[in-house]
Amino acid sequence: MAATRAPWIHSAPSPTLEAERSSVHVPSRLFLKPRRKALVLAFVRAGGTGGDGSLLNSTGSSIDLNRSSLDSSSEFASKDPSTLPRPLSRVDLSGGGNGSRLRVAYQGLPGAYSESAAAKAYPNCEAVPCSTFENAFEAVEKWNVDRAVLPIENSLGGSIHRNYDLLLRHKLHIVGEVKYAVCHCLLANHGVKLEQLQRVLSHPQALAQCEHTLAKLGVVRENVDDTAGAAKFIADNKLEDAGAVASSLAAELYGLNILARDIQDDSDNITRFLMLAREPIIPGTEKPFKTSIVFSLEEGPGVLFKALAVFAMRDINLSKIESRPQQNRLLRGAEYDGKYGSNCFDYLFYVDFESSMASSVAQNALKHLKEFATFLRVLGSYPMDTSQA
């Protein structure tokens, strides 16, 4: 049965930048490019309830815009609205939607920094430990928990690339962010002196963030899966020659002594966490919002410059850009005959920009980007964390 053409879709050229600036009307239509009859990104507000950080059709379901879906002859298939995600309200985001206590997944054991970040994001939540980042994503998808709070970047250690890859692999929505100040402590069993330590266990990033302190001690550094796990291992095995880099909460939970506090090399040690949910949040314009997207481009001179220019020409600030090689893609080389270099990777670009998808300026920027992007997905449009870490 052929798909019925949605009534708000019509063929029209993309508006010029001057037209965008002079217009005060927020578009509620999806435009088609006449050349390819491909969907171009827009934001749909249906029934007065608004859209989300992802692209929405009239029923509220998210649309991933890739080349295969754009070139399809059918534009939309009818879906039952009752089976689609319900966009979250601002009350839902804070965890007080129906008075129930939210279950929030984090990676690590009790006492991990991620547990503290989850408590900051959702006060009074029930924090649920997961052994891996992927387990946390799956826990939300399988309805075992309501949310997940996972790290995405650290001011000293940089990006957590694994979670960028998992954002693309899974269909969760970013509904918020929280910044958490990390204060590393050197822990050991009671009675163990600092000069007795021969090795120190912790997560690789935690060890790297305390490089100077540990170098002065002359200890061997041993990597483990998470900081709280290191503390638990020291306590369970009653080690007298080893310490752990972990939080003061981990010391309290596992009965360890704090030999030294704030041992990180830089006191400005902030980790940014993403709040993830099955449903998107309804974006607004009454407070600062951030939008996260991922896209890919054809290879060629100046293509990335043109992609980023769609934001610059509309005075939209980019707060982060991260490139990741596309997985399961072979190295390119022979087919280009050296025109753009040999053995090139296919890249995905993750971008955070400071604007809400409720804004017509953001909508038009992504519609412009879609004219030459081969793939585009909105990961979320959510309130910025403007508080102190």
Bridge partners for 349 per DSSP: 295, 323
Q: Is 271 a catalytic residue?
A: yes
**Which residue type sits at 37?**
K
> What single-letter amino acid sits at 328?
N
CA distance 289 to 52: 12
Whether 227 is a known active-site residue: answer no
Q: Using only C-alpha atoms, what is the Rg of the chain?
A: 24
Identify the DSSP state of 219. Answer: P
Give 372's contacts (C-beta < 8 A, 6+ positions apart). Answer: 297, 298, 303, 306, 307
Contact indicator for 148, 142 with CB cutoff of 8 Å = no
Q: Which of 43, 137, 273, 311 is catalytic?
A: 273
Task: Name the burial class of residue 246, with classes exposed (0-12), middle (13-18) and buried (19+) by CB atoms within 10 angstroms of its CB.
Answer: buried
Bridge partners for 347 per DSSP: 325
Distance CA 295, CA 287 (A): 26
Of the candidates 39, 51, 53, the residue with the CA atom closest to the CA atom of residue 5: 39
In sequence order, what are the residues at sequence separation of 6 or more whose Cβ sits closer than 8 angstroms to the Cβ of residue 18?
Answer: none
Catalytic residue among 271, 289, 353, 375: 271
Residues composing the chain: 389
**Cα 15 to Cα 43, 75, 141, 246, 304, distances in angstroms:** 15, 21, 38, 54, 21
Angle of helix 360-369 relative to helix 303-312, nearest 10 degrees? Answer: 170
Q: Say how many C-beta atoms besides its own lie within 10 A of residue 261's C-beta.
A: 11
The two structure tokens encoding residue 324: 């990741």
Give the C-alpha distances (Å, rounded to integers) separating 90 from 121, 175, 298, 315, 356.
13, 10, 38, 27, 14
Say how far residue 359 (Cα) sits from the centre of its chain: 21
Give the separation between CA 68 and CA 75, rounded to whole angstroms. Answer: 12
* Residues identified as active-site: 271, 273
